[in-house]
Amino acid sequence: MGRKKAYTESELLDMTKKLLLEHGYEGFHVKLLSQHLIGARSTIYQYYANKEEIVAACMKRVIIKVIEKASAVDESNPMVALQQLLQVYVEESEFHQLLGDANKINAGVSVAVAQDLEYIEQSHEILKVQLMRLFGRSLQEGHLREDIPIPALISVFFNLVNAPNMMKLPLSKWSGLLFDMWLNGAKR
Contact segment (CB under 8 A) with its own copies among 8-16, 68-76, 111-119, 144-152 equals 144-152
Distance set, CA 80 to CA 72, 73, 116, 137, 170 (Å): 13, 9, 32, 12, 19
Cα separation, 38 vs 36, whole angstroms? 7
**Options 22, 36, 40, 125; binder of DNA; rule CB under 7 A:** 40
Size of the site for DNA (CB under 7 A): 24
25-28-34 Cα angle (round to 5): 155
**Options 41, 65, 69, 137; binder of DNA; rule CB under 7 A:** 41
**Options 22, 23, 29, 183; binder of DNA; rule CB under 7 A:** 29
**Smallest distance from the beta carbon of 68 to its own copies, in angstroms?**
26
> Does residue number 187 form part of the binding site for its own copies (CB under 8 A)?
yes
> Does residue number 184 form part of the binding site for DNA (CB under 7 A)?
no
Taking the CA atoms of the chain, what radius of gyration do you get in angstroms?
A: 19
> Does residue number 3 form part of the binding site for DNA (CB under 7 A)?
yes
71 vs 162 by CB, closer to its own copies? 162
Residues that bind its own copies (CB under 8 A): 23-27, 104, 142-146, 148-149, 151-153, 155-160, 162-167, 177-178, 180-188
